[in-house]
Amino acid sequence: MAPRSKCCSSLFVKFVVSFLIVASTFSSTLSLQLNQTLQPQQELQKLRRIRAYLKKINKPAVKTIKSPDGDFINCVQIHLQPAFDHPELKGQKPLDPPERTKNSDPVDEVTHNLQQWTESGESCPEGTIPIRRTTEEDILRADKIRRFGRKPRRFVRRDSDGSGHEHAVAFVNGQQFYGAKASMNVWTPQVTDPNEFSLSQIWVISGSFGNDLNTIEAGWQANPALYGDQYPRFFTYWTTDAYQATGCYNLLCSGFVQTNSKIAIGAAISPRSTFSGRQYDLSITVWKDPKHGHWWLELGSGLLVGYWPAFLFSHLRTHANMIQFGGEIVNTRSSGFHTATQMGSGHFADEGFRKAAYFRNLQAVDWDNNLIPLSNLQLLADHPSCYNIKQGRNNVWGNYFYYGGPGRNVHCP
């Protein structure tokens, strides 16, 4: 057979190369077209899931009130609130208010606005409760729709273990507790990363800090990821499995049963404390009703907000073994160093009244529904050069402490 000529070989090689180039270009174009087709479909599916979720948690409103801070407050019939989606509550109505804790302060009328949405003088009709409307923008800020309204799983421990949570707290443990009470002043701490938050709260805790942790939490927080701004907002939280699959903030899942028509959980608090100026307190009591065993939440003197049904919990069905008070921040180190997110007022405990944040009149609730002073109070500051805590006691404030700090500074790199 005669050998193939160099000319034919050269042409064949050129043909193959040209074919490969065209095939590669066609493949890239097809891939791009497929991606462009798939991307809108994926976005559409995500939007459908978001709208279905919004329909589930935004119950039909009898009336809607626009707050000066931009929130919309839906007045929802009390028996249609999210709690009654729970299988054990379906078809039921909220319980009547129980007897308050013994030796409580006399019931005072609320003479000032606690939240911004009430500043216009509007209120929800009788038989309804105010619920902050959740928006598409709120959910789009969350990593996953199914985790919206829940604390990230990696942020579950009270003590610092590199998870990103840092605390300055006072706590008591080793006994049986049936509730806790304290007053805390409200500030507007700066949160420097959208995935961080700053809060001040009471924890009622039972179980271990493993997968069986039960907590009830209430206080105020600045949480841009959840609310889209930096206003301090009244909030609640609960979990029965260390924040894994149960519980949520506020009324974003079935659990907490609200009974009050004047307080919107998750709404901005107003007025707020100012540095060297007037201080505004938020007084919170969480206690277990001896008759039915549910955990009730009270603001001020006598303003019952609602309750966590006992069946939600395992360990907290009986009692708590720890109560804790203080501040917490999340430090993502997104810039490679410690966050400048503030805790409390953003000033250290040593600066004292009108400058530092405080908790005062710390009390526990005993088995007979009595408010009792705390003994053996322990202090914990994970990183005292970033956020610290300082305890005191006097005849007016009882047990108290100052806490907080600026976060990143020359001593907190």
pLDDT band at 182 (very low <50, low <70, confident <90, very high): very high
At residue 165, the pLDDT reads 92
Contact 227, 264 (CB under 8 A): no
d(CA 308, CA 294): 6
Query: Please, which residues have CB within 8 angstroms of residue 30's CB and are 6 or more apart in sequence?
Result: none
Task: Using a pLDDT cut of 70, give the percent of the chain over it.
Answer: 86
| Among candidate residues 347, 364, 363, the one with its CA nearest the CA of residue 355 | 347
Given a cut of 50, is residue 22 above it in pLDDT? no
Given a cut of 50, is residue 286 above it in pLDDT? yes
At residue 10, the pLDDT reads 52
Average pLDDT over residues 114-140: 93
Indicate the residue type of 348: F
Strand ranges in 119-240 using DSSP code E only, listed in sequence order: 128-132, 165-177, 179-185, 198-206, 214-222, 233-239
Query: Please, which residues have CB within 8 angstroms of residue 384's CB and are 6 or more apart in sequence?
Result: 168
At residue 287, the pLDDT reads 97
At residue 305, the pLDDT reads 97
Given a cut of 70, is residue 153 above it in pLDDT? no
Average pLDDT over residues 68-87: 96
Given a cut of 50, is residue 190 above it in pLDDT? yes
209-221 pLDDT, tens per residue? 888 999 999 999 9
Indicate which residue of 166, 196, 298, 328 is catalytic. Answer: 328
Indicate which residue of 196, 217, 298, 351 is catalytic. Answer: 217
380-410 pLDDT, tens per residue? 999 999 999 999 999 999 999 999 999 999 9
Given a cut of 90, is residue 161 above it in pLDDT? no
Query: How far out from the chain centre does Cα 124 lie?
Result: 24
**Coil, helix or strand for 364?**
strand
At residue 28, the pLDDT reads 52
For the chain, the domains span 58-100+112-152+163-404
Average pLDDT, the chain: 88
Average pLDDT over residues 306-318: 97
Given a cut of 70, is residue 30 above it in pLDDT? no
| Among candidate residues 161, 247, 160, 147, the one with its CA nearest the CA of residue 195 | 147
Other Cβ atoms within 10 Å of 23 Cβ, number = 10
Given a cut of 90, is residue 223 above it in pLDDT? yes
pLDDT band at 251 (very low <50, low <70, confident <90, very high): very high
Given a cut of 80, is residue 123 above it in pLDDT? yes
Average pLDDT over residues 177-196: 97
Distances (CA, A) of 65 to 73, 125, 133, 226, 348: 5, 11, 10, 20, 38
Q: Which residue has the tokens 């890239």?
A: 28
At residue 373, the pLDDT reads 93
pLDDT band at 291 (very low <50, low <70, confident <90, very high): very high
At residue 255, the pLDDT reads 96
At residue 107, the pLDDT reads 56
d(CA 4, CA 20): 23
At residue 18, the pLDDT reads 47
Q: Which residue has the higher pLDDT, 85 or 210?
A: 85
Average pLDDT over residues 211-237: 96
pLDDT band at 13 (very low <50, low <70, confident <90, very high): very low
Is 217 in the active site?
A: yes
Given a cut of 90, is residue 43 above it in pLDDT? no
| Among candidate residues 177, 196, 213, 208, the one with its CA nearest the CA of residue 325 | 177
Given a cut of 70, is residue 352 above it in pLDDT? yes
Is 328 in the active site?
A: yes
Given a cut of 80, is residue 37 above it in pLDDT? no
| Among candidate residues 320, 329, 267, the one with its CA nearest the CA of residue 67 | 267
Q: Enter the tokens of residue 21.
A: 């180039």
| Among candidate residues 351, 385, 382, 392, the one with its CA nearest the CA of residue 168 | 382
